[in-house]
């Protein structure tokens, strides 16, 4: 066949593949064109094969399959399972790896695959692999005419909407939020914001309540793709309501403020660990291992081995290593007068060493039972002028409050947000994927 005809066939193959790709990228598979239609598109210079009888339909060499990733199965293995050539499968996954980590794909992930049968070969040529690694995008690997693969991302159109939800706490905050359908990410953000002032171990009581106003992103079908920002939170404790507002400063930095424009973020967190229970307070106690009374110069939080421990505030690591009875121990200097210490860790976070700068909320290690310990827990200390004080009673200085023009902008934005909240009906239950 002449070289010009080869070029025409190459363009034809690319056109057919483009049709297949459009279907994958849209999330709704488009059937590959039947061989009869392809034959009709051949230029006059190419001799057309005799069509098969109508009673015996011609099987197209191009097909598409939809499969789900099985538990413990690799993406390469899944592609081979549906008939793809092994080398093609590996090359396609290598291309996808530039946009998504193939080792972290969830079990059950839907995968759309384009294949082409090759006469005389059992394995099929892999043309396309399309996956949706998260709610915001599709990623497609496409084979070109040279046999190489390139990955392309197709963003999904998402709409942002605001949701208002509330709950009454009868058993626990978590259970109340679950009944209200509040996404875990939103609840975690709420707890983080209030943790500067609220002791969630002791101050939450039956009859307390909360209200949240947050954003979520939905796709064209109305399904929730992901949660957005927490715009407003109100937590009522023993009849007193504490309100927080999300606000973007003129500099672009985003913070949360109370009704008077005071930043909720403090120099130190109330507790440097989530979901733990207070097992031992500050003060004199009967030591469980030594068998006599002695001063306990910190507080203990019982939690499972491996629970993350975070830095209570910004600072510089002074000590990170094994310290006798403390076991694996970290001490962080926050100011000239304030430091915090964390003991009995199972292990340190990667890169944790003296001199390292950390930010409030950074993971510094994980709960363990090293040193003189009867079980997994975090021993937490606050030091003022190098003297241990009760972490639960120490007053952490607040961040600078808004003033002048910044305060006026905040109060205006707060008033507008209050109006939007009042106009939004309370959602009985918030559906979330």
**φ and ψ of 216, to 5 deg:** -140, 155
Cross-strand pairs, 296: 283
Q: Which of 106, 107, 123, 124 is nearest to 115 (CA)?
A: 124
Domain at 224, CATH number: 3.10.450.350
The CATH number of whichever domain residue 383 belongs to comes to 2.70.70.10
Q: Which two tokens stand for residue 151?
A: 């990955």
Q: Are residues 136 and 206 in the same domain?
A: no
Q: Residue 381's pLDDT is what?
A: 93
- Residue identified by tokens 């003189």 is 372
**307 shares its domain with 260:** no
- Tell me, yes or no, whether 40 and 87 share the same domain: yes
167 in any annotated domain = yes
With contact defined as beta carbons under 8 Å apart, do 53 and 36 qualify?
Answer: no
pLDDT tens over the chain, length 433 residues: 444 444 444 444 444 444 444 444 444 433 433 434 433 444 455 444 555 555 544 455 788 888 898 888 899 999 999 999 999 999 999 999 988 888 888 888 889 999 998 888 888 999 999 998 877 788 999 999 889 999 988 887 888 889 999 999 888 888 888 888 888 889 888 988 887 788 776 778 889 999 999 998 887 777 777 888 999 999 999 999 999 999 998 888 899 999 999 988 888 887 888 766 777 776 665 556 555 466 777 889 888 999 999 999 889 999 999 998 899 999 999 988 899 999 999 999 999 999 999 988 899 999 999 998 888 999 999 999 889 888 877 777 666 688 999 999 999 999 999 999 999 998 754 433 3
Q: What is the pTM of this model?
A: 0.54
Residue-level pLDDT at 267: 80
429, part of any domain: no
Q: Which of 95, 129, 155 is the last residue of a domain?
A: 155
Whole-angstrom distance between the N-terminal and C-terminal Cα of the chain? 55
* 3-class secondary-structure state, position 239: coil
Q: Compute the distance between CA of residue 52 and CA of residue 54 in angstroms, rounded to an integer.
A: 6
Does one domain contain both 169 and 225? yes
Q: What's the pLDDT score for residue 361?
A: 84
Determine the pLDDT at residue 417.
96
56 & 108 share domain: yes
The domain boundary, picked from 135, 155, 175, lies at: 155
Establish if 247 belongs to a structural domain: yes
Provide the greatest CA pair distance for the chain: 101
Do 325 and 291 sit in the same domain of this protein? yes
How big is the chain, counted in residues? Answer: 433
Whether residue 396 lies inside any domain: the answer is: no
In a domain, 133, yes or no: yes
Distance CA 317, CA 311 (A): 10
Any domain includes 411: no
Both 112 and 126 in one domain: the answer is yes
Domain containing residue 339: 277-389
Q: Edge to edge, what strands does the sheet with 209-218 contain? A: 159-168, 209-218, 224-237, 240-248, 254-257
pLDDT at residue 430, rounded to an integer: 44
Are 283 and 197 members of one domain? no
Domain count, the chain: 3
DSSP labels for 93-117? HHHHTTTS-GGGPPTT-EEEEEEE-
- Which of 133, 155, 177 is where one domain is finished? 155
* 300 and 199 housed in the same domain: no
42-49 CB contacts, 8 Å cutoff, 24+ apart: 42/8, 42/12, 43/5, 43/8, 45/2, 45/4, 45/5, 45/8, 46/1, 46/5, 46/8, 46/9
Beta bridge partners of 369: none
Same domain, 93 and 203: no
* Residue 29 sits in the same domain as residue 151: yes
Residue 141 lies in a domain: yes
CA 360 and chain centroid, separation: 19
Do the domain assignments include residue 414? no
Q: Are residues 167 and 150 in the same domain?
A: no
Pairing of strands 308-310, 363-367: antiparallel
């Amino acid at each position: 066949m002449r070289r010009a005809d080869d070029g025409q066939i190459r363009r034809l193959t690319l056109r057919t593949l483009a049709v297949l790709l459009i279907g994958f990228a849209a999330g709704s598979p488009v059937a590959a064109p039947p061989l009869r239609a392809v034959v009709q598109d051949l230029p006059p210079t190419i001799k057309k094969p005799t069509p098969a009888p109508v009673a015996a339909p011609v099987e197209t060499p191009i097909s598409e399959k939809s499969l789900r990733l099985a538990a413990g199965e690799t993406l390469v293995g899944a592609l081979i399972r549906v008939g793809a050539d092994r080398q093609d499968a590996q090359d396609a996954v290598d291309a996808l790896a530039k946009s998504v980590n193939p080792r972290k794909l969830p079990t059950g992930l839907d995968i759309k695959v384009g294949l082409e049968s090759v006469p005389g070969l059992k394995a099929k040529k892999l043309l396309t692999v399309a996956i949706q690694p998260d709610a915001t995008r599709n990623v497609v690997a496409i084979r070109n005419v040279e046999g190489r693969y390139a990955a392309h991302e197709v963003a999904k159109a998402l709409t942002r909407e605001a949701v208002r939800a509330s709950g009454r706490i009868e058993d626990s905050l978590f259970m109340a939020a679950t009944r209200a359908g509040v996404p875990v990410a939103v609840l975690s953000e709420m707890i983080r914001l209030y943790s500067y002032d609220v002791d969630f171990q002791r101050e939450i009581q039956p009859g307390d309540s909360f209200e949240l106003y947050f954003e979520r992103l939905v796709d064209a079908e109305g399904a929730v793709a992901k949660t957005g920002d927490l715009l407003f939170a109100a937590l009522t404790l023993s009849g007193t309501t504490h309100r927080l507002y999300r606000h973007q400063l003129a500099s672009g930095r985003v913070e949360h403020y109370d009704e008077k424009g005071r930043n909720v973020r403090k120099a130190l967190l109330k507790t440097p660990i989530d979901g733990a229970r207070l097992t031992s307070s500050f003060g004199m106690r009967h030591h469980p291992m030594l068998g006599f009374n002695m001063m306990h110069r910190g507080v203990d939080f019982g939690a499972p081995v491996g629970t993350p421990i975070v830095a209570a505030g910004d600072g510089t690591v002074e000590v990170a290593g094994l310290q006798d009875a403390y076991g694996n121990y970290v001490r962080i200097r926050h100011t000239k007068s304030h430091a915090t210490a964390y003991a009995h860790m199972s292990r340190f976070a990667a890169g944790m060493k003296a001199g390292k700068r950390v930010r409030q909320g950074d993971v510094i290690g994980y709960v363990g039972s090293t040193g003189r310990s009867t079980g997994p827990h975090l021993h937490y200390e606050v030091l003022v002028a190098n003297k241990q004080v009760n972490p639960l009673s120490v007053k952490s200085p607040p961040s600078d409050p808004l003033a002048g023009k910044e305060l006026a902008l905040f109060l205006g934005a707060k008033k507008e947000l209050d109006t939007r909240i009042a106009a939004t009906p309370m959602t009985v239950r918030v559906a979330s994927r």
